[in-house]
Chains A and B, each alone.
Chain A
Amino acid sequence: MAYTDDSAHHDHLPQGFFRKYVWSQDHKVIAIQYASVAILAGLVGVGLSNLMRLQLGFPGKFAFIDAPHYYQFMTMHGMIMVIYLLTALFLGGFGNYLIPLMVGARDMVFPYLNMLSFWVYLVSVIVLMASFFVPGGPTGAGWTLYPPQAILPGTPGYEWGIILMLVSLLIFIVAATMGGLNYVTTVLQARTEGMTLLRMPLTVWGIFVATILALLAFPALFVSGVMMLLDRTLGTSFFMPALVSMGQVSNYKGGSPLLFQHLFWFFGHPEVYIVALPAFGIVSDLISVHARKSIFGYRTMVWAILAIGVLSVVVWAHHMFVSGMNPYFGFFFATTTLIIAVPTAIKVYNWVLTLWNGDIHLSIPMLFALAFVSTFLIGGLTGLFLGNVSVDIPLSNTYFVVAHFHMVMGVSPLLVIFGAIYHWYPKITGRMLHDGLGKLHFWVTFLGTYAIFFPMHYLGILGMPRRYYAFEGYKFIPDSAQTMNAFITVIALFVATVQLTFIFNMVWSVFHGKRAGPNPWRAASLEWQTPETPPGHGNWGPHLPVVYRGAYTYSVPGAKEDFIAQNAPPVPGDAESRLPRDKEALA
């Protein structure tokens, strides 16, 4: 392996438990802190979804789930899962852990800011969770927090819940911005010798572009959050129209609820890709490593990530077809939405073509990656339905949309997160996760996903409205729909319970897992070539690695091993040198 001289590295090992594990500036520790908090928040989110399912499956059987509580569970479930779990885990967790290791850096370029980012994130989570304990409880405005109802009496949590929600979001945005500046600057400035942009693993590309999207899209949430907070606290009328609320004439006048929707979705749609792009990147790496093949069409994959990133900021109003708009706008937003299918389909084809003739190892990370391709394809195809204005309008307020977005941005990224944890856990802890428990976890989660969300497409086409607390007295909904709902609830409870085996596995394996060695998957990318496992402070020992090739050199005919590490010096006349040279090196 080749390493460059790095005599300038003066960092000393931090001393003492607190400096090392609590107020740590080491990207690996911060990543674990971010991931742990995100997973805990996620467990709360899962619990809330199960409470909702109890009501939907067995309406009225649980007295404590009344309508206000139902809406509070729904709102908090949505916001926790999208922002505090998925965004935080992909960028703060995986971004933090993998970027420096994959580009050959010693740490993020601004370690102190990185630490601050985590602590500010933690504050945002605490503020959010505090809303469960304030008078009136958390907000029940729906995760989109649409005004005017979000801040009016009659909506659960309008007293304090909505204020804490908005404050928590604003704090989260500050944390995400601090982290984001770090990730992007690290990718641009701290790559090691030889690590050109087009040699970076696709994981880094996905996180990199997603972070840029986050940096530019979160300001829209910030703007809408600040203005709504002022409407609620100071009585401004940014979003609030003149209205009579519960018989009282309010002081609001002239504000525009539609303005909020535009701002919210200008953030909200890129948010889908802030979650999806890292997943795309990670899945590419998992598939390539576990099929022992170079990723098919690396450059097209990079361009597709960039194209999806750019397109994602010009499609936001497809979330607002039912709000009403000029038909030309509808046409524009439907068209741009459907165009996203092109780069997305390129990615799916490339994953499949990577698998084609590959030496497929059905390890647990690979199983999750394959499951992702399947759920993402289903969710993406229903996205094509909903991208059309005339199809969206009748389906928009039904369970069809619930099925669509849970398949495409709920379950799919989560499957990638599971796969990624099984894949990188040996690097993080030095031990493997338990295989049997992992297989149980995979099959229950994957099949459970389909059992839960697939029937919802059918319920949606049947016309079952989403967001409703109860469905009594709707003649067009047959009794069989209720049976289906009970079925979904039972499965959801089961699948949620089995997630505990995953948590158990993660804790148990730290102490009792099989020792992994430095590179158990025989992967070529840089993070597996660290001198120590888990990597020590500064990652690379005395010398930084030198990179000679891309991250996907697998199964070179005639080579000694079936992978060649990114930092293995080329040997003149060996199997690799007989391969057609990559264009980049010749340029």
Chain B
Amino acid sequence: MNQAAILKSAGGGYGKPAADNPLERRYAAISVALWLFMAVASALFLLFIAAYIMRMDAADWSPLAMPWQLWLSSAILVFASVLLQLAVSAAGSHQIERARSLLLLAGACSITFLAAQLWGWQALQAIHVTASGNPAGSFFYLLTAMHALHVAGGLVGWGMAAAGSWRQEQRRLAWRIRLCARYWHFLLAVWLLLFAALGWLTPDFVRMVCGTR
């Protein structure tokens, strides 16, 4: 085997040689793991939505009007996502103070989002939509709870980034903010999909698409 071929095949396909920069390698690994986790979570939510659609076909389904609080929570989550994106830019242009403030604000928004979701739950409870009654209600509580769990998990990662934001070097913080932003965009996309499915997908539409009408 000639030397050039060895070097070429040795260098290709696996990232950088070990000694290059262990921190970079670790960042790359965590980034890949986050993409993978997002794929797993996507599979989970798509399957939930598939189950939701299939269950909708049954005769006992009665559609649920979305409480107005969900519009509020959606707006807050959009806001959190935008804030994190701004934090990414700030960290990229070395405005570390600004990045930190934006990061903290985005976390606060996300906690407010969870509170607004709970408020929405209360509003539904108040008009006697229970988890065990109308299946649309069961799915509503289940899907919002699953999404909230993923937001809560994200907040753990955010907490680590926020706690370290005072003592970490700039590059490390910027990298953590990037990961947070990516995950929050994902959470937002999942939420918008769930919100649309919960609020506006009707049995008639499902039957038309599935050809079961």
* Central interface residue in B40, B55, B142, by most chain A CB within 10 Å: B40
Report the separation of the CA atoms of residues A7 and B20 in the bound assembly, to the nearest whole angstrom. Answer: 10
Partner of B60, one of A182, A215, A237: A237
Smallest Cβ distance from A571 to chain B, in angstroms?
10
Distance in angstroms from A227 CB to nearest chain B CB is 7
Asked if B208 is at the interface (CB within 8 A of a chain A CB), the reply is no
Min CB–CB distance B150 → chain A (angstroms): 12
- Select the stretch in A189-197, A284-292, A331-339, A486-494 that faces chain B: A189-197
Known: A235-B132, A238-B138. A195 touches B48 (CB 8 A): no
B19 touches A254 (CB 8 A): no
A-B pairs, top 10 by smallest CB distance, nearest first, are A254-B60, A219-B44, A194-B10, A8-B22, A235-B132, A236-B138, A109-B29, A254-B58, A585-B5, A189-B29
CB <8 Å contact, A220 and B47: yes
Q: B32 touching A189 by the CB < 8 A rule?
A: yes
Which of A258-266, A412-420, A433-441 participates in binding chain B?
A258-266
Q: Which residues of A contact B192 (CB under 8 A)?
A: none
A544 at the interface (CB under 8 A from B): yes
Chain A residues whose C-beta falls within 8 Å of the C-beta of B44 in the assembled complex = 219, 222-223
User: Which residues of chain A have C-beta atoms less than 8 A from B6's C-beta?
Assistant: 194, 548, 570, 585
Is there contact, CB below 8 Å, between A215 and B39? yes
| Between-chain CB contacts (< 8 Å), 19 pairs | A7-B19, A8-B18, A109-B33, A110-B29, A177-B40, A181-B36, A181-B37, A185-B29, A189-B32, A193-B10, A193-B18, A215-B40, A219-B44, A223-B44, A226-B142, A238-B51, A547-B10, A548-B6, A581-B5
Given A216-B39, A585-B1, the answer on whether A6 and B19 have CB atoms closer than 8 Å is yes
Query: In the bound complex, do residue B1 and residue A576 qualify as a contact, i.e. CB atoms below 8 Å apart?
Result: yes
A586 near B5 (CB under 8 angstroms)?
yes
Contact B18 A185 (CB under 8 A): no
Cα distance A584–B59 in the bound complex, in angstroms = 59
Number of B positions contacting A (CB below 8 A): 44
Closest residue on chain A to residue B14 by CB atoms: A191
**Neighbouring A residues of B60 by C-beta, 8 Å:** 237, 253-254
A256 to B135 Cα, complex, angstroms: 11
Residue A255 at the chain B interface, CB threshold 8 Å: yes
Indicate if A483 sits at the interface (CB-CB under 8 A). Answer: no
Chain B residue contacts of A244, Cβ below 8 A: none
A254 touches B59 (CB 8 A): yes
Whether A237 touches B29, Cβ cut-off 8 Å, given contacts A181-B37, A216-B39, A585-B6, is no
Contact code string A203-242 (vs B, CB < 8 Å = 1, else 0): 0000000000001100110110011001000111110000
A interface bracket (residues with beta carbon within 8 Å of B): 35 or more
Extra 6 A-B pairs, beta carbons < 8 Å, given A181-B40, A190-B29, A263-B51: A181-B36, A184-B36, A196-B14, A219-B47, A226-B142, A238-B51
Known contacts: A110-B33, A236-B135, A581-B5. The answer to whether A192 contacts B39 by CB under 8 A is: no
The answer on a CB contact under 8 Å between A196 and B12 is yes
B18 touches A544 (CB 8 A): yes
State A549–B57 Cα separation when bound (angstroms): 56
Chain A CB within 8 A of B131 CB: yes
Q: Tell me, yes or no, whether A5 is within 8 Å of chain B by CB.
A: yes
Nearest chain-B residue to A192 (Cβ)?
B18
Distance of B210 from chain A, by nearest CB (Å)? 11
From B132, which residue of chain A is reached at the shortest CB distance? A235
**How many angstroms between the C-alpha atoms of A237 and B1 in the bound complex?**
65
Tell me the complex Cα distance, A220–B37, Å.
Answer: 15
Give the docked Cα–Cα distance between A184 and B33 (Å): 8
A238 to B1, CA, bound (A): 62
Check B185 for interface membership: any CB of A closer than 8 A.
Answer: no
Cβ contacts A571-586/B at 8 Å (1 or 0 each): 0000011000100111
- CB under 8 Å from chain A, chain B span 34-63: 36-37, 39-40, 43-44, 47-48, 51, 54-55, 57-61
Chain A nearest CB from B30 CB (Å) reads: 8
The interface residues of chain B lying within 8 Å CB-to-CB of A192 are 14, 18
Name which residue of chain A comes closest to B53, CB basis: A259
State which of B14, B37, B132 has its C-beta within 8 Å of the C-beta of A195. Answer: B14
- CB neighbors of B among A533-587 (8 A): 544, 546-549, 570, 576-577, 581, 584-587
Query: In the docked arrangement, what's the CA distance between A185 and B25, Å?
Result: 11
Question: For A586, what are the chain B residues with a Cβ–Cβ distance below 8 Å?
Answer: 5
Taking CB atoms, residues of chain A closer than 8 Å to B54 are 256, 259, 262
